[in-house]
Structure 1
Amino acid sequence: MEIAIIAAVITAVALVLVCLLFLMLRYMYRHKGTYHTNEAKGTEFAESADAALQCDPALQDAGDNSKKEYFI
């Protein structure tokens, strides 16, 4: 009788571990290589950094163009 209880507990633990492994692998497969950036759209083909920044609508109201600052 005790052997049946021990076997059932071991089987239940093994089943839970297999399910967790399956869920973890599924999550890793679905999210492989996905990332989000906050770069402006359409600036990858700009001639220079100045041209890319001038086309960015978020920065057009930032002030005059005489003073340039770059943050790296």
Structure 2
Amino acid sequence: MDIAIIAAVITAVTLVLLCLLLVMLRYLFRHKGTYHTNEAKGTEFAESADVALQSDPALQDAGDTNKKEYFI
């Protein structure tokens, strides 16, 4: 009788651990996520950071002297 109880407890613990492992693996594989950067395309082959930023179209308008900002 004691052997049946011990076997049932061991089986239950093994089943719970197996279910926990499956839940953890499912969570890890479904929630990997991605890493996005906002770097300009084609800048990885530039000689320096200054050369890479000179061709960035977002920074081309930054040197416009007609636009002025006033901070109060």
What is the TM-score with the length of structure 2 in the denominator?
0.52
User: 1:44 offset after TM fit, Å?
Assistant: 4.2
1:9 matched to 2:16? The reply is no
Q: Find the aligned partners of 2:6 and 2:61 in 1 and give their Cα distance.
A: 67
Amino acid in the other structure paired with 2:7: A
Which whole-Å CA distance do the structure 2 matches of 1:52 and 1:35 have between them? 28
Tell me, in whole angstroms, the C-alpha distance in 2 between the residues paired with 1:35 and 1:52.
28
**Paired position in structure 1 for 2:69:** 64
Aligned pairs (5 A) from 1:38-49? 44=40, 47=56
Max Rg structure? 2
Q: CA offsets per residue over residues 7-57 of structure 1, 9 Å max, x none? A: 0000000000000000000000001133577x6xxx84681563588xxxx
C-alpha RMSD of matched pairs (Å): 3.4
- Structure 1 residue ranges, 4+ long, deviating more than 6 angstroms after superposition: none
Which sections of structure 2, spanning at least 5 residues, go unmatched? Answer: 42-54, 63-67
**Paired AA for residue 20 in structure 2:** L
TM-score, normalised relative to structure 1? 0.52
- The CA distance in 2 between the partners of 1:52 and 1:2, in whole Å, is 82
Seq. identity, %: 60
